[in-house]
Amino acid sequence: MERTFIAVKPDGVQRGLVGEVIRRFEAKGFTLVGLKLLQVSKDLAEQHYGEHQEKPFFPGLVAFITSGPVVAMVWEGKGVVAAARKMIGATNPLNSEPGTLRGDYGIDIGRNIIHGSDAVETAQREIGLWFQSEELASWEPSLSSWIYE
């Protein structure tokens, strides 16, 4: 089953949106297989956002993501990587559709609430970066047959 890495960024945590993020993913029918709150180190932030190393916003992004606690999660389900990106919305919250997390709760691109892996391979890399394998639980919700045909 496909898995994706989701993180509620420091602005989302400070604004009390952790529960809303979890609620939406649960309500959709995805399965939570990993969850922790942590203060992100500079090293982890730089590795996570490595693809953006040369971008002008990189130092500010690393400073922001390490500025307060982050809630890191792994969600599982059919098509979860792409579905999560749709639920999250466009990178710039002013361009995110209403009904998406960024569209409903954000304004500035540097305060866009939440991260979600952009592809299956990215998700595998990010899950490995943020979680030890023993921190992830493989379980089948008893509701499965009411969610999948």
**Contact positions toward ligand UDP, by CB under 6 A?**
52, 57, 61, 91, 109-110, 112, 115, 118
The answer to whether 58 is a known ligand-binding residue is no
| Catalytic (active-site) positions | 115
Distance in angstroms (rounded) separating the CA atoms of residues 22 and 73 = 9
DSSP of 74-125: EEESTTHHHHHHHHH--SSGGGSPBTBHHHHH--SGGG--EEE-SSHHHHHH
The answer to whether 111 is a known ligand-binding residue is no
The answer to whether 3 is a known ligand-binding residue is no
The answer to whether 5 is a known ligand-binding residue is no
Q: Which is nearer to ligand UDP, 33 or 114 (CB)?
A: 114
Nearest to 83, CA basis, from 56, 116, 53: 116
**Binding partner selected for residue 91 from Mg ion, ligand UDP, none, CB under the kind-specific 5 to 8 Å limit:** ligand UDP
Q: What is the DSSP letter of 41?
A: P
Distance in angstroms (rounded) separating the CA atoms of residues 43 and 78 = 32
Find the shortest distance in angstroms from Cβ 115 to ligand UDP: 5
Could you tell me which residues come within 8 angstroms of residue 77 by beta carbon, excluding any fewer than 6 positions away? 1, 2, 28, 29, 30, 31, 83
Choices 7-15, 58-66, 115-123, 139-147; region in contact with Mg ion by CB under 5 A? 115-123
Query: Of all residues in this chain, which one has the CB nearest to Mg ion in the complex?
Result: 118
- Give the per-residue contact string, 62-101, with Mg ion (x = CB under 5 A; - = no): ----------------------------------------
Annotated binding site: 9, 57, 85, 91, 102, 112
Residues interacting with Mg ion, by CB under 5 A? 118
